[in-house]
Chain A
Amino acid sequence: MNIEQQDFYTQAILSLAALVGLTSFLMLGQGRLLRLIFVFALQGFLLSFTTALAGFSLDNPHLYISAVLTLLLKVIFIPWMLRREVILMNTQRDIETLKNKTALMMGGAGLMVFSYYVLHPIVQTTSPVMLNALAVSLSVVLLGMLLMITHRQAVAHVVGFMSIENGLFFAAIVATNGMPMVVELGVAFDVLVAAVLFGIFFFHIRTSIDSLDVDRLNRLHEVDK
């Protein structure tokens, strides 16, 4: 299959998928919190753009609503909230030292290959384009998890959490042209509530352990020592 033979929309989706995947890798290797939040906002913007493009190309007006919701939540509200938190905690200049960055990036690449491997069976029933889009979405989800495992800052965990949601949204739009409206609104509502709760949590964690480093959350054990 040659990419030039595809229509414009498919080509655009493939490029956007590549860019979304790229932003995930950028986040993975990022030690500075403010830049991490910026890249996250960028990923949100790409997602919102993809949604609008799908809405335009498929003539599906409800995708515009979803694009606006994504823009408001993932590009404006959540990054604003996280940025405020970083500045409040005075951690904007800290650089988190990530152990063994090379291995981390290799691991990320491995996860991407793994996503293709997992989703390969569906290629029999659908176009390779769909496989690419779905595999990139899954790898964004997995890379978000890897981000949460390797970073120690609570803010980075929230970015990872939300970037997992981004990956899911991308899959929903590209593979199925958006979920039914009621589901999409429900998911957006959940994300909004989750973001507000994270804000409340930052406040509690800050007041109780005076830091947003999750390594300090270590009082509870599986068995008593």
Chain B
Amino acid sequence: MRFLFILILFFFIEVVEANFFKPQHYTLDNGLEIIVLENNRIPAVAHSIWYKVGSADEPKGKSGIAHFLEHLMFKGTDKLKPGEFSQIVSRNGGKENAFTSKNYTGYFQLIHKSKLELVMSLEADRMKNIKLIEDEFENEKTVVLEERYSRIDSNPSALLSEQINAALYMNHPYRKPIIGWEHEIKNLNLDDVLKFYKKYYAPNNAIIVICGDITLNEVIKLAQKHFGRIKPSKIEKRIWTSEPTQHAARKVTLKSKDTAIPVLKKHYLVPTYEKSKKESLALEVFSEIFGDPSTGMLYEEFVKNKKLATSASAYYYPDGFGDTSFTISIIPKKNVSLEEIESHLNEYLKQIKELVFNKEEIEKIKKRLINNTIFAQDSLYMGMRIFGSSLTAGYSLKEITDWPENINMISTNDLQTFVPNIFNSNKSVTGYLLPIME
């Protein structure tokens, strides 16, 4: 009883704080954007640069080029030998990495604040001056192929996702795997990569995001000094092919001898935040109440009530341009077939379309989501990652900082309006992962 009291008390006195990171913003004359998130906990910075180019921007037949280029960015410039970039960062006590997605390519270093100028000068250098030789290029190609074999080809679940994506997006470039198709990686040449680099790596196609113990003014000075002289390029607006009306449910089945656990995946094509803002926010709220792996409705239905599954969850990824995926994953209990799971899922989703949402429940779910923004501030890395990935995938700065308020505005009516649109089987792919007995 006492719990209940505490719960209610917090529920009423809590006001939603839109206090999400307080980013500061500046744009250099050459178009380079700068975002600073001050955090004075330790005398360090998470420094990152995000290029608005990802696998979805690749030319036809050249899949994998964005990710390959990310590898080559460590292979030397006019001033640095191959690998020297990483050695300098490490010698100065820094950690670093890079990531390529469908929408962006990002590079970051976590380092003492006194070394910020050093890493900014290194990033400025490799924005325009990478130098590649044929030997290094061919060597790195085998590294990328080994990466593909490790991450995708040896992993049945990743391989299934790759097949599902290629079926879910019939025309949108999201259908390609980020790492690239094996045969296309093998055929990439040095010229392809350099052309891509010259076209997209420019100050007016990049955002610097720094989270840490530093002020905007200090960053602007350093950015002027190191990036200020780099000339902007002509960057065309990103226009990607979009999805036509989809008329038929699709199904893919992957049989593997390397797994004992069958899995059912169901992907629905739904809009990104960029395409349909309010709808996307409603889907974020819905995916939490419906798909949370330990408290969601799907878990309750499949794991607890019907006792058909060992796990059941759903996830919605709002970032990107055009369409994205609402994904359901269910692992059946032993001796329950994927067909049984699928047929019950179809029945259950019909009920969900008719569902009347409870206002009090929705308020609690919204509060959960908003609380996550407080936890997200508990590391330098998270803030940097959230702002970088959102700004390069459909969100304005204001839309990121207003996110808690915008989530809070979502009503049961909004859910009533948008949720039934999700589960349209003509826009779906069902994926089966099935073990083969040896």
Do these two chains interact? Answer: no
- B residues with a Cβ closer than 8 A to A are none
- A residues with a Cβ closer than 8 A to B are none
